[in-house]
Structure 1
Amino acid sequence: MKIEFKKAPQTPKELEVEFNSVKIVGTFCKISQSLVKIDAKLIGNTDIDCCRCGITDNIELDEKLDFLLSDRIIKNDESEDLVIEIENGLIDFDEIIQGELEAIKSDYHICEQCSQNNDDFEKEF
């Protein structure tokens, strides 16, 4: 789902977008002329690889998402929220889901079998 940045509502609007069995559920609204706030949850299932043995495992997602979208470059931002700069004046919620999934997949995950195995393994430094 895509929406023009300038058409984002001033009052919180319900949001439910699904992409590949993962969805964002929550609200979004414009909080200033150049900022849109998203307050939502990332819900669903995704496949991840164990960083130790490489086996693919399916995990359930229930991640809280609180961030701001901006159509401008942000400098010296004093906000504690993550600010994502968008391009072309379009908010693409599918792209946001893809980005969040890639961030989760890039983290180190250890499968249940490897977490129970206390054998030494080679570490790279």
Structure 2
Amino acid sequence: MKIEFKKVPQTPKTLEAELNSVKIEGTFCKMSQSLVKIDAKLIGNTNIDCCRCGTIDNIEVNEKLDFLLSDGIFKNDDCEDLVIEIEDGLIDFDEIIQSELEAIKSDYHICEQCSKDNDDFEKEF
């Protein structure tokens, strides 16, 4: 789902988009001329590699998303919120889902089999 930055309403609008088996649900609204607030949850299942043995495991995703989108470069150093800069004036929620999934996949995940194995080991693949 895509929406132009300038068409985002001032009042919270329902957000629902799905990519593969993961969906984003929540609200979004314009905070100022160049900022949009996203308040949503990322829900679904995704495949992830075990960092120890390399097997693929399916995990449940249930992440709270609370951030701002900026139309162009964001210049406020006092803001404590996470800000994602949008370059082309088009908000792509599928791209946001994909980006959040890649962030989850980049974390270290250990499968159930490896979590039971307490031995220290080093494997080469």
**Bin of the TM-score, shorter chain as denominator length:** over 0.9
Aligned partner letter, 1:19: L
The farther-off stretch of 46-55 and 75-84 is 75-84
Partner of 1:122: 122
Partner of 1:27: 27
- Name the TM-score, length of structure 1 as normaliser: 0.95
Shift of 1:81: 1.2
The farther-off stretch of 45-54 and 79-88 is 79-88
Distance 1:77 1:97 in 2: 26
Partner of 2:90: 90
Partner of 2:68: 68
Aligned partner letter, 1:44: G
Cα deviation 1:21-52 (Å, max 9, x = unaligned): 10000000000110000000000000000000
Partner of 1:113: 113
Partner of 2:13: 13
Distance 2:61 2:77 in 1: 29
Distance 2:75 2:13 in 1: 28
- Is 1:40 the equivalent of 2:33? no
Distance 1:9 1:18 in 2: 21
Structure 2's unaligned 5+ residue stretches are: none
RMSD, aligned α-carbons: 1.1
Give the number of aligned pairs: 123
Aligned partner letter, 2:51: C
Distance 2:3 2:74 in 1: 21
Match of 2:52, SS state, is: coil
**Identity across matched positions, percent:** 85
The farther-off stretch of 18-27 and 79-88 is 79-88
Shift of 1:120: 1.1
Distance 2:38 2:76 in 1: 21
- Name the TM-score, length of structure 2 as normaliser: 0.95
